[in-house]
Structure 1
Amino acid sequence: MNADNKPNLIDFQKVALETLSIEQHALQILAEQIDERFTKACEIILQCKGRLVVTGMGKSGHIGRKMAATFSSTGTPSFFMHPGEAGHGDLGMLVRGDVLIAISNSGKSDEIMMLMPLIKHLGVPLITISRDDTGPMPQNADVALTLGEAQEACPLGLAPTSSTTATLALGDALAVTLLEARGFTADDFARSHPAGALGKRLLLHVKHLMHTGDELPKVSPDTPMNQVLYEISDKRLGLTTVVDENDILLGIFTDGDLRRLIDKQQGFDVNLAVSEVMAKNPSTISMEAKAVVALEALHEKKINQFVVVDDAKKVIGVISMHDLINAGVN
C-alpha cells in the first residue's frame, strides 16, 4: 500500500507466475535431496508398531496437520501433536513404539527442542524435516530430511512460502511411497472414507440398499390383477415379483406393463391371472454386486429396478435406481 492507503499498481499475473516459478524451483531443489535418508525414513515408518506422530510450530504445524491426515488416509496411522501443548501434558500422546516427524525450516524450534530429552528417553525414532542439517533438531535426529536452500517466494523473505510448499510435497512423497510399499488399494482407501463418494462407490453393495422382508412385493402366478395392482401400490416400488411356492422368480409385472396393457386392450379383466401378462426372464442382480455396478447396469438396460436373487433364482430383494441415487451412489 502507498502513502494514500491505496494498493500499488502492479501486474498481478506477472507476480503470480513469478511466485509459482520460485516455488517450482524449490521443488526441483527438493528432488535433489531425495537420497538414502529418504529410504531410511520410510523403513523406520514401515517398522513402526505404534502411530506416526507429526509435530511442528506455526506454518510448519499447519503443514504437519495436513501430512498427518494424508498418512492416516493412506494406510499409515498418524496424528498431529502441537509442540506447545505437548510441553503442558500432551506429550503423553507419544509412547514407545511410535515414530515422530518434527518439522522446522530452521531446525531450531525451541518448543520442539524442549521435548527432546523425553523423546530420547522414550526411545522414539525421530525424523526431522528442515532446510538443512545444521540445526540442533536434525543433529539429534535418527534421520534428518532436508529441503535444500531455496528462495522463499515472499519478496520480503519472511513469510514461509516455498519452504512450506516443499515440506508439503515431501510429506506427500513419503505418504505415497509408504502407500505403495504397503500395497494399499482403492478399497483400503474407501474404508477410511466411508462417507465420501469413493467410499460409497467401493463399499456399498446391493445387499445394503435392497428392499427385503415386508417391503418386498411378491405374488403367485395365479394372482388376479386386482390383487396384483394392490401389491404394487402397497409396496411402492413400481413392480411386483411373481414367484412360485418356493419363492423362485417366474417373472415381474410393473406399472409400465400396466399402462401398456391398458393401451393395448382398452382396459383389462381384473380377474386376469398375472401369469398371463407378466414379463418373463426379468433382469436380476446378485446381492453381493457393488451398488455402483447396479446403477451402471440400470442405466445401460434403461430400466428402473433389479430383482435381487440368489444362486437358485430365489427372490431375496428388489433395488431401484431411486434407492441408489438417494444413497449417493454415482
Structure 2
Amino acid sequence: MKKDFLTLQDYSREEILALIKLTEAMKKNPRKYQGIASGKVMLLIFQKPSTRTRVSLETAMAHLGGYSIFLMESHAQLSRGETVEDTARVVGRYVDIIAARVFEQKFVETLAKYSNKPVINALSDKFHPCQILSDLFTILEHKGKLEGLKLAYVGDGNNVCNSLLIGCSKVGMDITVASPKGYEPPSDVVQTALENAKKSGSKVEVLNDPITAVRDADVVYTDTWVSMGQEAEANIRVKVFKPYQVNAELLSHAPDDVVVMHCLPAHRGYEITDDVMDGPNSIIFDQAENRMHSGKAIIAYLLGLVRLP
C-alpha cells in the first residue's frame, strides 16, 4: 500500500521521530545511500515559484541516484483545463513519486487520491510538512532533544505555523504562537494540535503578545508576513505585523541560549532584522541545508527503499 506525505498529522509520533533519525543517518553517512533510487523518477508539479523546495528535492533525488522532472503548471495541460484527477492517473504511469507545490491543500489531496504513486506535499496553503520535518531535525541537532522544549512562533498563522503546531504537538514540544488579532492560525488546526498535545504531554498556546510568547523559549521562529498570493494585502500586513518583528529587543526577553529559525525566504528588516538573522543565535542556514537531508529521507521512505529506524 502506497504512503503519501501530505501532512504530519497523518504520521504517528514514532514515525515522525523515525524519519528524523533517518534524516540524521543520511546526513552523517550520505555514501551509504548513494544510488539506492537508481532508475527512479520524481515529478515536481509546481504552481508557485521556489528556491529551497525545488533545489533541495531535486538534489536529494540526484544524491539517491534518481532523476527529476520539473513541471510548472503553466506549462502543463492543467493550465488548459485538464483535471487534477486525470493528471494524477496519467503521470502515475510514467514516474515513481510526485512532489507538488500548490495553492490549495485540496489539490495535493486529490492528486494523492487518484495517483497510484506516492505524493509529497511540497507546500500548500494549509501545510508545509517537508519544512517542519527538517525543522524538527535541526532543533534536535542544536538542542539535543525535542521533548520538553518550547518553540515560540511569532508572526502570521500561516501554513508553516500550522505544520509547526502539528509537528511540535506530535513529538512532545511545547509551542506558543503569537499573532496579531485576526491573523491567528485556523481553529481546526489549533484544535488538532491540542488533541495531539494531550497524548504527547506538551502544551499549545495561541496568544497575541510576542514578548510573553518568547519568555522561556528554546526556539524563536518566524516567517514572512506576506505569503505568496497575499501581495495585495502587503501594505496593511506590514503595519499590523510591525510589533511582531524578531529583533534584538524581542530576543532580550528570551533565554540567552535561544535559537532563531526562519523557513526563508526572509524579508530582512521586516519580520526579522539583519543582526538577528546573521547573529550567534541564528541557525537559519543550517535549517535551510537540512531541507535536502530530510528530503532524501522522505523520498527514500515513500519509495520503499529504506526501513525506518
Structure with the bigger RCO (C-alpha within 8 Å, sep 6+) is 2
Q: TM-score, normalised by structure 1?
A: 0.28
